[in-house]
Amino acid sequence: MKAVLPAAGWGTRFLPISKAVPKEMLPLGAKPVIHYVAEEAALAGCTDILIILNQSKESIRRYFEPDPVFEEILAKAGKTKELAAFRSPAELARFHFLYQPEMRGLGDAVRLAKDFIGDEPFAVLLADTVITGQSPLGHMLQVTAETGRSCVSLEQCPPERVSRYGIAGGVADAASGLYRLDAMEEKPALEAAPRLRDAQGAVLAPHAFAARYVFTPAIFPALEACPPGRNGEIQLTDAMRTLLREQGFYGAPLAGKRLDIGNPQGLLEAAALFC
Ligand code: G1P
């Protein structure tokens, strides 16, 4: 199983530190945020992880690649514990790297993974978001394997934040605990936002896409056909809507909490929970 971790965003909410340190490399204790994300993918069975970077984020690559020279120095010095910690990022999975040439949006970043993925379902984990408690990924991979439909994790979203996220509409499927989605909108106004309904048809609070996705390979032709959307960027949500129409799409409610570390407040919250 393969996973894609988009990590090519500018990190403007973290300036000035993001000028030199990618937001994904900010620490939660002794490990950077992206370590936890890669670990989550590995625990869900992903053996190959592709990280989408830009040229200013080389430190991510350095973090996940082995460094035989320094490993030998540690080994010769008998520093067994330090050696294990030093090796631990590279041991999570096989890592691959690709560079997004232009900032053309999340959809464009995922599109770059086409040749790496080939013709099988795969996971996407946004590298600036950690999840507390049980990761939804294992269940989502199973759902896609069994149904041939893609799946996105969902989290209830306060009304004032609806315009910051992708928002899902659909109806609860009591048997599976999932939602069968019938609408998706990227960063809508609250009044225009689609809504989930429970099995009896009652309308629920808004639910946002929560940084974890499992796609069938049909996402690639959908992305190729996608014109630039909001902000002139290729929006992943627009291509997801094609899959929704053509194959159906599931939403998986998060058991834990999504912590977006793309801003200083989110990082502090995550540090309190993860360190
Ligand atoms: C992206 C997606 C959005 C999703 C969000 C958090 O937005 O486009 O649909 O809800 O991640 O998972 P961004 O934060 O990159 O603007």
> For ligand 1, what atom is nearest to the CA of residue 166?
9
Write out the chain's pLDDT in tens, 275 residues.
999 999 999 899 999 999 999 999 999 999 999 999 999 999 999 999 999 999 999 999 999 999 999 999 999 999 999 999 999 999 999 999 999 999 899 999 999 999 999 999 999 999 999 999 999 999 999 999 999 999 999 999 999 999 999 999 999 998 889 999 999 999 999 999 999 999 999 999 999 999 999 999 999 999 999 999 888 899 999 999 999 999 999 999 999 999 999 899 999 999 988 87
Taking CB atoms within 8 Å and a gap of at least 24, the contacts of 182-189 are 182/244, 183/244, 184/209, 184/237, 184/240, 184/241, 184/244, 184/249, 185/237, 186/229, 186/230, 186/235, 186/237, 186/238, 187/163, 187/230, 188/162, 188/163, 189/162, 189/163
pLDDT of residue 275: 75
Closest CA to 241 of 257, 230, 253: 230
**CA-closest candidate to residue 113, choices 230, 263, 236:** 236
Q: Whose CA is nearest to atom 8 of ligand 1?
A: 166
Measured CA to CA, the distance from residue 130 to residue 128 in angstroms comes to 7
Position in ligand 1 atom list of the atom nearest CA 126:
12
pLDDT of residue 10: 87
Tell whether ligand 1 has an atom less than 6 A from the beta carbon of residue 211.
yes
Q: Best substitution site from 165, 185, 213, 263 to test ligand 1's pocket, by max atoms within 8 Å of Cβ?
A: 165
Instruction: Compute the distance from residue 235 Cα to the ligand 1 centre, in Å.
Output: 9
Assigned CATH for 2-274: 3.90.550.10
Cβ atoms 228, 103 nearer than 8 A: no
CA 184, 188, 194: angle at the middle one, nearest 5? 45
What residue type is assigned to position 233 of the chain? E
> Can you give the residue ranges of every domain in the chain?
2-274
